[in-house]
Amino acid sequence: MKGKELKSRDIDSLFNGFLRDEGSIILGFKKDTITIGHHVFKGNIKDFSLINPFFNANGALYFRRLFSKGSRLLFVLRPCEIRAYVELIKLTQMEREGMIAISVDCPGTESVKETKGMTSLPEDIRDYFKEDTPKRWACINCREKRGVVGDGGIRLDKDFNMWIIPYTEKGEALIATLEGEWTDVPQDMAIKQDKEPEVFKTDLDMLKKDLSKCILCMNCRDMCPVCYCVDCVFNTDEYLPKGDALLNKILRTGEVDLPQGKELFHLIRMYHVSQTCVGCGACEEACPQGIPLTKYFKGISERLQGLFSYMSGRDFNEPIPYTTFKEDELKNAED
Amino acid sequence: MAESIKNKNIEIVGFACSYCSFKASEMAGSLRMKYPEGVKLIEVPCSSRVDPAFIIKALIEGADGVFVAGCHPGDCHFIKGNYYTRRKIAALKEMFNAFSIDGRLRLFWVSASEARRFVDKVTDMYNNIKEKKK
Ligand code: SF4
Ligand code: SF4
Ligand code: SF4
């Protein structure tokens, strides 16, 4: 695979070059002395950071329903964020036209809630990789930490030299603006391919127990990058009745626990995102009640994607399984 | 599940395509074939109209079983609806497996002329669930 070596100063010239155009913006991370987080850069990339060791939300969320209208947008984000972006394109919730997505090798992240002040950010990118910080469950079990998704990737070889590699024509055009020769990228990288996930197995009692503290605030849904429906079924009285509708239901069918419909909400959401969930754990991060959601959403989605040998966000051209079919398949589906 | 739900008779919710399985059920009726009373049919314009959310809702809110019945693959009135159904239901079954929910969702292919097949399939499902509940 061909790519270019990327020195720290190249990052500046590459991205500042991109921003020179009026109407071009970059979504990445900004790090200053106080904080680090998602930031949209315009004009120049002052305080830009390739890596953010603290996770608060999946960055693909912010530009959902974006139809670029002539502007150019460059995403420089974690693999799970770029994968969500790829899924949103397939779901026609974003337009691919003016956008370029670059995934950056991710050593794993810590929950932003766990960090006690964010003042001691390592200066050097390598330290993120070396430091043995506690990681979120989603990251320990992450399926794709490598910057191998999107239009291009920024990767680290085992000696911590940085490489930028194109995966599509768009990525190639961007990287072509960078000085330096196209060379063969080393095989041996700092972050290796993850092993196949284990087959998730649980039961309803376990789910019920885990959801016992759920208050049905639906933050998990709202922060999920791929849970995009404008008219969500849970905003209606049919699925989660309130007021009169709840009273009618109780008179019709009997007693209920409140909040009513926790298992219903999570199981349906789990199915609805089953092919597009990227296992980022943004849902769990958003939950005020500390419910271990990722294990269910990631576990179920990996099982259901496995049925169709699909992996969310891996490839722009791989259709989402529920939107396509083969005539000759699933012979055992019928009972 | 609440006690009140446990003790009542078996209830099965069936989503049946109006072009085939629902017709088969009507024919079964006119031929005076019997299938268990607890089977409640809902007519849908195509089996692929059934959002798995309907199925999950039915099961979580007390149904003992749910089936989706559509035309045989290749015979869909809308050409390819049932191929999508097959994918969606196969995936939903996989999800139920992960939650150790067994045998409560079935998928049938029944054409408009197969009244006997329809009755056999739903009766078998009913008996099976009844057996497990004892
Ligand atoms: S889920 Fe994977 S890609 Fe996302 S932050 Fe964790 S390790 Fe990085
Ligand atoms: S964010 Fe947490 S408490 Fe709120 S609905 Fe989701 S799981 Fe329940
Ligand atoms: S369900 Fe959770 S883990 Fe999956 S994509 Fe949404 S936020 Fe990420």
pLDDT of residue A139: 94
Residue A189 gets which letter from DSSP? Answer: B
Ranges of chain A with pLDDT below 70: 116-126, 130-132
Same domain, yes or no: A23 and A159: yes
Residues A170 and A252 in one domain: no
B102 has pLDDT over 70: yes
Q: Are residues A15 and A154 in the same domain?
A: yes
Determine the residue of A294, A303, A311, A312 to mutate for testing ligand 3's pocket, defined as the one with the most ligand atoms within 8 A of the Cβ atom. A294
Using a 6 Å cutoff on CB, does residue A106 contact ligand 1?
yes
Report the domain count for chain A: 2
**Does A333 fall in a domain?**
no
- One domain for residues A226 and A265: yes
Average confidence (pLDDT) over B91-110? 97
Instruction: Using the mean position of ligand 2's atoms as its centre, give its distance from the Cα of residue A213 in Å.
Output: 8
The ipTM is 0.93
Q: Which amino acid is at B16?
A: A
State whether A245 and A215 are in the same domain. yes
User: Rounded to an integer, what distance in angstroms lies between the CA atom of residue B56 and that of residue A194?
Assistant: 33
* Nearest CB to A333; choose among B56, B67, B107: B107
> What does the pLDDT read at residue A116?
60
Tokens representing residue A317 in the block: 């051209």
Residue A97 forms part of a structural domain = yes
**Confidence class for position B1, pLDDT limits 50, 70, 90:** very low
Tokens of A80: 């799970």
Within this chain, do residues A177 and A214 fall inside the same structural domain, yes or no? no
pLDDT at A209: 98
DSSP assignment of B44-55 equals ESSGGG--HHHH
Whole-prediction pTM value?
0.94
Q: Do the domain assignments include residue A35? A: yes
* A159/B contact by beta carbon, under 8 A: no
- Domain segments of chain B as ranges: 10-133
Residue B3 has a pLDDT of 46
CATH class of B10-133: alpha beta
> Would you call B98 and A202 a contact, using CB atoms and an 8 Å cutoff?
yes
Rounded CA-CA distance A179/B39 in Å is 71
Classify residue A329: in a domain, yes or no. Answer: no
Does residue A224 have its Cβ closer than 6 Å to ligand 2? no
Residue B8 has pLDDT above 90, yes or no: no
**Are A289 and A315 within 8 A, CB to CB?**
no
Q: Among A293, A333, A300, A277, which residue's Cα sits nearest to residue A202?
A: A300
Smallest Cα distance from A165 to chain B, Å: 35
Which residues of chain B from 71 to 130 reach within 8 Å of chain A, CB to CB? 73-74, 80, 83-84, 86-95, 98-101, 106-109, 121, 125
Closest protein CA for atom 7 of ligand 2? A214
